[in-house]
Amino acid sequence: MKLITFIQNFKVCKVKSIALSLVVFAIFLTGNGTSAQNVSFGMLTDVHYAAIKDNGTRKYSQSLDKITQCIDTMNQTKVGFLIEMGDFKDMPVPPDSEAALGFLGKVETAFSRFRGDRYHVLGNHDEDCISKSQFYSIAKNSHISQKRSYYSFQKGGYTFVVLDACFDSTSVPYDRGHFEWSDANVPVQELKWLENELGHSNKPVIVFVHQLLYGNSKVTIKNAASVRNILEESKKVKCVFHGHDHKGGYERINGIHYYTLKGMVEGNFPESNSFALVSLAKDSIRIKGYGNAVSMSLPIY
Ligand SMILES: [Zn+2]
C-alpha cells in the first residue's frame, strides 16, 4: 500500500470510529432502557397490599413479596421506568383510614426500591377509605406535581398519558369510599385535557388507565366510547394498558391495542405473581409477562 493511500484509509477509519463513538455516547446519554426511538418499562397492577387476612384468591399480605420480586427483576433489566396501574393498596373491614395509610406507606416503600422513575395510576381501592390527595401525599410520581391525578410524560420516542377514571357520572371524584366502583367515568374537563395533550404530541402515544376502555360490563368505564373516540381521532395512540379486571384481557378496536394486565394480588407466592416488561420500538410493542401475566407481540400500525 502506498503511503498516501494508507494515510487516506487511516483518516476514513478514524472518522468512522469517531462517528461510532458518538452514536454509542448518544445511546448512553438517553439513560436506562431508552434510546432516541425505543423505550422499555415495567408494569404491575392491582397490588392491593394490606396486612389483613386473605379473601378467597386475594392474598393481600403476600403482595409485598410479589412486588419485591418484580422490583428486583426490573432493577436487573434496567427498564426506563416503572408504572403501577391502580389498586395499589387495600383496607381492613370495617374501613380504617389510619391503617390504610400505613399499608400505602409500606407498599410505596417497597415500590421505591426501583432505581428509576416511578408512576402511579389511580384505582378505585386507592380511595376506598382515603382521599386522592391523601393517596398522593404518600405515593409519589417522578417529576409530576402531587396535585395531579392525570398527567403525561415523555420517554424515548414516546408520549405516555395517565388517565384517572375515578369519578362518578356527575364528575364527582371518588373520595373515602363515597362512590360506586362500577360507576367509573372520565369527566369532561379531563377529556378536554386529553384532546389537547394528544393534539400537541409529536410522538406516538401510550395510555394507562385503571378501568377498561373496552367491553360492556361493570369493569368498563361508562363513557368509554367518548374516550376511545378521542384516542382514535388523534391517530397517535398505539396501545392502552389497564388493570382492574384481575383475570386480564386483550382487545383491538379500530387499530388501537387494549391490554389488561392480570392482578398481582391473585394467588399464592411464589407460584403466582403477575408483572410485565414492555419494549416499545418504532413498529412493535413486545410484552414479556412474568408469572401468570400474558406475553404478547403487537404490531404498531
Ligand atoms: Zn383490583
pLDDT tens, 207-263?
Answer: 999 999 999 999 999 999 999 999 999 999 999 999 999 999 999 999 999 999 999
203 alpha carbon – ligand 1 mean position (Å): 31
As a whole number of Å, the CA-based R_g of the chain is 21
Residue 126: count of CB within 10 angstroms of its CB: 27
Q: Where exactly are the structural domains of the chain? A: 1-30, 33-299
246 alpha carbon – ligand 1 mean position (Å): 6
pLDDT tens, 105-143?
Answer: 999 999 999 999 999 999 999 999 999 999 999 999 999
CATH 3.40.50.880 is the classification of domain 33-299: no
Tell me if 285 sits within 8 A of 277, measured CB to CB.
no
How is residue 87 written as a grid cell? 389498586
DSSP notation for 14-37:
HHHHHHHHHHHHHHHHT-TTB-SS
166 alpha carbon – ligand 1 mean position (Å): 13
8 alpha carbon – ligand 1 mean position (Å): 66
How much is the pTM? Answer: 0.89
113 alpha carbon – ligand 1 mean position (Å): 22
